[in-house]
Amino acid sequence: MTTTLGTASADPGEIDTGRLEVGETRDGSSFGLPVAVVNGASPGKTLYMQAVSDGDELNGIGVIQRVVPRLDPAEISGTILIVGIVNYHAFQVAEHRNPIDDTKMNRAYPGNENGTSSERIAAATFAAATRADIILDLHQGSTSRMIDEVRVRCGKRHRLYEDCLELAKAFGCGYVLDQKGPDGQLARAAPDEGIPTIDPELGGTVGWDETSIQKGVEGVFNVLRYYDFLAESHDLERQTRANGFEQYGAPNGGLVDFKKELGDRVARGETLFEVTTAFGETKATVTADSDGILWRTRRLPQVASGEYICSVGTDIDSY
């Protein structure tokens, strides 16, 4: 059976690319999101995958750019639907939020086809996503520095919680943040429609980072193997899980000197960072409130009072 997404249309055993029209720009010309359809030669499940929901998070499109050329529809069972760049306007100007309505796209789901710019894009991509059996929403930690991890955002009481945990384990980054997400996230909204969804956060950088991209590529193929899109098998491996997340800000202005590296274990009371003057004089020493893992840090060393410094994943276990 022919499968279409926007102007992309593929018969079984074919791949096609096209555009999903979602509105007009300020000069009245129409614009569309780049989409692809991979229609496997054999029937099976449907995977939906998207990237660049936030316009400065490019590792996801780096993953898609490397995955699609490796897909042979003759060897695939099922269908893969892809939206390569979701936040069209933010991507054009390399900003996090949609500049048309100053909205973070991953707070706009399930969207509104008659709403704001972001709500309209969210509605169009949500309609595509909810055609699937499983969903991968590829992100990164914006331009901060962050470990490669997968987020399960539906919450522990959700009926699809175990299915989302399984999908995160199949992706296999090694780290999972298991914490209910804010309203409007695709990984919150799609499970309500009965579709297991995860939010891989592939590092954090300015531009893109090849190491994180390769982890994402491996994760996508892990999912394709585990859910029988490909004939090869994939064995699940235990993941290190954080069930909480603590953020730390600067008590003073100055320069940050981290005492721990990303991914390091930290103990309650252990020094995370110091704030110093331009001459290396210590102005403040900040210690961990809980045991955990240094999960995310700011990129630039200069800070003002109260500015974000880092995050620690807490309540650590494995599954």
Q: What is the CATH number of the domain that holds 156?
A: 3.40.630.10
Q: What pLDDT is stored for residue 160 in this prediction?
A: 98
Nearest C-alpha neighbor of 191 from the set 165, 171, 170, 211: 165
Asked whether residue 234 is assigned to any structural domain, the reply reads no
Task: Please check whether residues 310 and 214 belong to one and the same domain.
Answer: no
Spatial distance between the Cα atoms of 87 and 116, rounded to a whole number of angstroms: 13
Spatial distance between the Cα atoms of 297 and 259, rounded to a whole number of angstroms: 12
Task: Please check whether residues 196 and 272 belong to one and the same domain.
Answer: no
Q: What is the pTM of this model?
A: 0.96
Percent of the chain scoring above 70 in pLDDT = 100
Q: What is the span of the domain harbouring residue 82?
A: 3-227
Taking a C-beta distance cutoff of 8 angstroms, is the pair 175, 149 a contact?
Answer: yes
Average pLDDT over residues 243-271: 97
Q: What pLDDT is stored for residue 239 in this prediction?
A: 98
Task: Please check whether residues 43 and 160 belong to one and the same domain.
Answer: yes
Spatial distance between the Cα atoms of 221 and 223, rounded to a whole number of angstroms: 5
Task: Please check whether residues 219 and 271 belong to one and the same domain.
Answer: no
Average pLDDT over residues 62-82: 98
Number of domains in the chain: 2
Task: Please check whether residues 13 and 137 belong to one and the same domain.
Answer: yes
Q: What pLDDT is stored for residue 75 in this prediction?
A: 98
Name the pLDDT band for 293 (thresholds 50, 70, 90): very high
Does the CA dihedral 181-199-80-162 come out positive or negative? negative
Name the pLDDT band for 165 (thresholds 50, 70, 90): very high
Asked whether residue 61 is assigned to any structural domain, the reply reads yes
Name the residue with tokens 């961990």: 288
Average pLDDT over residues 139-155: 97
* pLDDT tens sequence across 192-221: 999 999 999 999 999 999 999 999 999 999
Q: What pLDDT is stored for residue 136 in this prediction?
A: 99
Phi-psi domain of 251 (left: phi exceeds 0; alpha: psi -120 through 50; beta: other): alpha
Task: Please check whether residues 286 and 185 belong to one and the same domain.
Answer: no
Taking a C-beta distance cutoff of 8 angstroms, is the pair 80, 71 a contact?
Answer: yes
Name the pLDDT band for 42 (thresholds 50, 70, 90): very high
Q: What pLDDT is stored for residue 2 in this prediction?
A: 97
In one-letter notation, the amino acid at residue 308 is: Y
Task: Please check whether residues 244 and 223 belong to one and the same domain.
Answer: no
Choosing from 227, 252, 267, the residue where a domain stops is 227
Task: Please check whether residues 151 and 119 belong to one and the same domain.
Answer: yes
CATH, residue 282: 2.40.50.100
Q: What pLDDT is stored for residue 186 in this prediction?
A: 98
Average pLDDT over residues 180-190: 97
Q: What pLDDT is stored for residue 190 in this prediction?
A: 98
Task: Please check whether residues 132 and 53 belong to one and the same domain.
Answer: yes
CB atoms within 10 A of CB 16: 19
Q: What pLDDT is stored for residue 54 in this prediction?
A: 97
Percent of the chain scoring above 90 in pLDDT = 100
Spatial distance between the Cα atoms of 50 and 56, rounded to a whole number of angstroms: 14
Average pLDDT over residues 160-168: 98
